[in-house]
A and B are shown apart, each in its own frame.
Chain A
Amino acid sequence: MIRVFVEGVGIIGPGLPSWNESREILAGRQAYAGGELPRLLAGRLPAAERRRSTAVTRLAIDTAEQALPPGINADGVATVFSSSGGEVEIIHRIFEELATPERLISPTQFHNSVHNAASGYWSIATGSRKASTSLSCFDDSFAMGLLETAGQTSAEGTRALLVAYDFPPLQPILRARPLLAPFAASLLLAPAPSELKLAELVIDFAGADSEDAARMQDAGLEALRLGNPAARSLPLLAALARSECAELSFGRLRVKLTPCA
C-alpha cells in the first residue's frame, strides 16, 4: 500500500484547456461539448528548443506546468513521463524517410524521436537535474505511471510529478492504433500532507483484474477516456474536481481517493 498526497493537477484535451477551466465539466456540473485543443505554447522552453520541440512534447510540458503550484520549484521535483506512443509524429516521418532510397533522417528529427524527448525538454526548460523517467505501458500507461510516481514519492520521500500524455498517431499507423484525440493529465504528488494538499491517494495492486474499471458518466468524456491511454485518468480527475471520495480501479491498480478540503 502506498499513501501519497495530491498537490497539483493539470489537464489538456479537446475542449479541456486547463484544470481550472475544466473543473466544472469534470465535476459534471457543466456539459462537455468537446472542441479544439488549446494552443500548445511550452512558454518555459528556451526559444531554440521551443522551435525544435514537437506538439507531443509541448502537450506534455504545458500539462506538467499546470500541476506545479506557485512556490513549488520545478528543480526540486522528480518527474515521470508516461505515454503509450511517445513522439508519434516524428516517428512517422522517420519511417517515411527510411522507406526512400536516400534514407536521410535529420539529426533533430532523430533526437526528437526518443520516447524521453518530453522528459529531456522539461529538464532543459526547468533546469531541473532531478531524476526523470519515461514509461510506456500501452493502455495502462496512466495507471503504471501513477504507480511509478507514487512509489518514488513514497520510497524516496520526495515530491514527484506524473505527466501522462498521448497523441493519436498519423496515418497509416492510426488505423492500427485508433486513438481519438490528443490528451494529457498531470499530478503533483507529495509524501506527506502539507498546506498544498488537495487529496490523499491510497494505492494498492490487487491479485486480480477488476471487472468494473472506473468510467465517466458523460458519453463524450467516456469516449475520450477510451480513446486515449492518458485519458484513463479522467475518473480520478473527476473525483478531484468534485472533491468527493472515490474508489477507482485501473486494471489491477486500486486507488482510494479522499479529498483533503
Chain B
Amino acid sequence: MQPLVLSAFTLTSSLGRGLSATLAALREQRSGLRYCDFPGAELDTYIGRVEGIENEPINGRLSDYDCRNNRLARIGLEQDGFTDAVESARRRYGPERIAVILGTSTSGILETESAYRRRDPETGALPPDFRYRQTQNTFSVGDFTRRYLDLHGPASVVSTACSSSSKVFASAARLIQTGLCDAAVVGGVDSLCFTTLYGFTALELVSSTPCRPADAERNGISIGEAAGFALLEKPDRGDGDIALLGYGESADAYHMSSPHPDGLGAAEAMAKAMNRAGMEREAIDYINLHGTATKANDTAEDKAVFSIFGKGVPCSSIKGWTGHTLGSAGIVNVVVSCLSLRESFVPRSLNTGRVDPEIASWIATEELRRPVRTVLSNAFGFGGNNASLVLGKQL
C-alpha cells in the first residue's frame, strides 16, 4: 500500500497527558496503574485512570456532549498541538476532505449507568437530563470530535471491542486510497465505566494485582482508559517522520470471548500487515503486543508471533503501564510504537517478573536502547476480531 504519514499524533492515558508525559513515564519505569478508586466501584483490582476528568466538563456550544468519554476526547485533542495540526490540514484540504474515524467500545454509557440509578420510581423513566445521542450512542465520540474540529468529511465510529482503534487506520487508508478524502483524523477514546469493570470481573478476567503480561503467574487484566489521535496524510502532502506502512485484519471464527488457542487469526492479521507493507519478518525491529495478561490471550498471541518470528524480535506489552484501555488499546499501541521509533528504544514489558516458560517469543523484560526502524503493533478483540499495523520511520 501507499504509506500514509502520521503528521501529528498524541496520547492521554494514566501515564499522563501528551507525548512528553507518556515518554517520561516509560523512561522512568513509572506505571499508571493504581488500586481501584473509581467512584462507586468496589472491586479488588487496579485501574489506569486519567486524573482530572471529573473537573473538566465540556462547556459552550458542545455542552450537550458532556460525558466522561467526550471529556477524555477533548483533553486528548488538546495535547501536543494536535488541534493546530488538524486546523492546518483543514486549511490545506478543506473541511469536507478530512474524515474522522474513531474507535470506542463503551462510548458515554457511564452516563446511562448513572441515569438507570436515578429512574423515576413510578414511571421508570430516565431523568430529563439524559441525552442518548450525545452520550450513550456509540457514534457520540465521533460526532463530538468532528464538531469540535469542525470537519465535514465522512465520519464514523468503529466498535470492534479491543481492536477498534487499530481498525480505524485500515478504514482511513482505504478511504484515502479511493480518493474520497485527502486526510483522516483517526484514533480511539474509551473511558472507565461499570459495564466493563463489572463485566470483565464476571468473566473472571480481572487481576487483583497490577496486570503482568506474559508472566508465569499472570491472572488477568487491569482496566484503563485513554484517548489517542493521529492525523493521516499522503506522504507528498503531509510532514512527518513516521508512517503507516501496512495493515492487516482478520477474524478468528472461533469463540466470542476466547481467542483461537493457536492464534491463527492473530497470525493472519500480522502476516497481512507485513504483506501489505511489502516487508519480510527480518525487517521488523519491535513487536508491540496486544498482551492483555490473561492466560489465554498471551499464550495465543505468543503462538502467533512465534510462528512467524521465532525468537528473533523483541516483544513487549504496554498493558502493565496503562492497563487495558479496550477500545483505545489500538491507538495506545500505535502512539507507543511511534515513540519507540522516534526515541530508538523498546519499552520493557512492565510487571513481567518471570516469563511464562510456555511463552516462546522474545519478551523484553528490560528496556532496550537500539535503533527501531519498523514496528508491528497488535490489537485483538472480543468476537475474535484482529488488527495488526506496521509503522515505520520515513526515510
Neighbouring A residues of B189 by C-beta, 8 Å: none
With a cutoff of 8 Å between Cβ atoms, the chain B residues found around residue A176 in the complex are 126, 130-133
> Whose C-beta in chain B lies nearest to the C-beta of A207?
B96
- Interface residue stretch chosen among B24-32, B229-237, B331-339, B379-387: B379-387
Let me know if A137 and B155 touch, CB within 8 A.
yes
Contact A98 B256 (CB under 8 A): no
**Contacts of B254-287 to chain A: CB distance below 8 A:** 254-257, 264-265, 268
User: Residues of B contacting A141 with CB < 8 Å?
Assistant: 139
Chain A residues lying within 8 Å of B174, measured Cβ to Cβ, are 148, 151-152, 155-156
* Contact status of A119 and B253, CB under 8 A, knowing A98-B195, A103-B194: no
CA distance A154 to B175 in the complex (A): 10
Q: A70 within 8 Å of B by Cβ?
A: no
From known contacts A117-B383, A172-B126, A205-B154, infer whether A138 and B137 are also in contact, taking CB-CB under 8 Å: yes
From A105, A203, A204, B202 is in contact (CB under 8 Å) with A105
In the complex, how many angstroms separate the beta carbon of B266 from the nearest chain A beta carbon? 11
Quick check: B105 and A84 within 8 Å, CB to CB?
no
Q: Digit string of A170-184 for contact with B (CB within 8 Å is 1, else 0)?
A: 011101110000000
Q: Say yes or no: is B113 at the interface (Cβ < 8 Å to chain A).
A: yes
**A131 adjacent to chain B (CB < 8 Å):** yes
Q: B252 contacts A136, CB within 8 Å? A: no
Please give, as numbers and ranges, the residues of chain B lying within 8 Å of A172 by CB-CB distance.
119, 124-126
With a cutoff of 8 Å between Cβ atoms, the chain B residues found around residue A49 in the complex are: 256
Assembly CA distance A57 to B159 (angstroms): 15
A159 to chain B, nearest CB (A): 15
A11 within 8 A of B: no
Contact with A along B201-240 (1 / 0, CB 8 A): 0111000000000000000000000000000000000000
B256 touches A104 (CB 8 A): no
Identify which of B9-17, B177-185, B343-351, B368-376 touches chain A.
B177-185
Query: Quick check: is A243 within 8 A (CB to CB) of the other chain?
Result: no
Q: CA–CA, A161 to B195, complex, Å?
A: 30
Q: Are A96 and B105 in contact (CB under 8 A)?
A: no
Closest residue of chain B to A96 (Cβ to Cβ) is B116
| Nearest Cβ on chain A to B180's Cβ, whole angstroms | 5
Q: Check A107 for interface membership: any CB of B closer than 8 A.
A: yes
Question: A99 contacts the other chain (Cβ, under 8 Å)?
Answer: yes
Contact B251 A129 (CB under 8 A): yes
Asked if B139 and A123 sit within 8 Å, CB to CB, the answer is no
Residues of A within 8 A of B309 (CB): none
Residue A110 contacts which of B136, B152, B203 (CB distance < 8 angstroms)? B203
Residues of A within 8 A of B264 (CB): 129
Candidates A119, A120, A135, A156; contact of B157 at CB < 8 Å: A135
User: Counting CB contacts under 8 A, is A219 at the interface?
Assistant: no
The answer to whether the Cβ of A126 comes within 8 Å of any Cβ in the partner chain is yes
B199 touches A205 (CB 8 A): no
The complex places the Cα of A115 from the Cα of B158 at a distance, in Å, of: 9
Whether B117 is near chain A, meaning CB under 8 Å from some CB there, is yes
The reply to whether A116 and B385 form a contact with Cβ atoms under 8 Å apart is yes
Query: Is the CB–CB distance between A135 and B94 below 8 Å?
Result: no
Interface string of A110-153 (1 = CB under 8 A from B): 11111111011101101111111111111011001001100110
Decide if A86 is an interface residue (CB 8 Å cutoff).
Answer: yes
B161 at the interface (CB under 8 A from A): yes
In the complex, how many angstroms separate the beta carbon of B316 from the nearest chain A beta carbon? 26
CB closest residue in chain B, given A145: B156
Answer whether residue B83 sits at the interface, using C-beta atoms and an 8 A cutoff: no
A141-B161 Cα distance, complex, nearest whole Å: 18
B 160-182 contacts with A by CB, 8 A = 160-161, 167, 170-171, 173-175, 177-181
Most chain A beta carbons < 10 A, residue from B142, B159, B167, B204: B159
The reply to whether B96 and A114 form a contact with Cβ atoms under 8 Å apart is no
Is A85 located at the chain interface by the 8 A CB criterion?
yes
Q: Is B112 an interface residue, CB under 8 A from the partner?
A: yes
Contact B203 A111 (CB under 8 A): yes
Q: Decide if A84 touches B199 in the complex (CB within 8 Å).
A: no
Question: Roughly how many angstroms separate A171 CA and B112 CA in the complex, as a whole number?
Answer: 13
Q: Give A149 Cβ to nearest chain B Cβ, in Å.
A: 10
Given the interface pairs A123-B383, A129-B252, A137-B142, the reply to whether A2 lies near B154 with Cβ below 8 Å is: no
Q: Decide if B20 is an interface residue (CB 8 Å cutoff).
A: no
A86 neighbours in B (Cβ, 8 Å): 138, 159
Task: Give 1 or 0 for each of B92-108: 1 = CB within 8 Å of chain A CB.
Answer: 00101000000001000
Residue pair B161, A116 in contact (C-beta under 8 Å): yes
Cβ contacts A to B, 7 pairs, < 8 Å: A95-B195, A128-B251, A130-B251, A136-B159, A144-B154, A151-B175, A172-B124
User: 8 closest A-B pairs (Cβ-Cβ)?
Assistant: A120-B383, A136-B138, A115-B159, A110-B199, A131-B249, A123-B251, A176-B132, A111-B257
In the complex, besides A98-B116, A129-B265, A151-B171, 9 extra interface pairs with C-beta distance below 8 angstroms are A95-B116, A98-B195, A105-B195, A109-B199, A115-B159, A115-B160, A116-B383, A119-B383, A133-B249
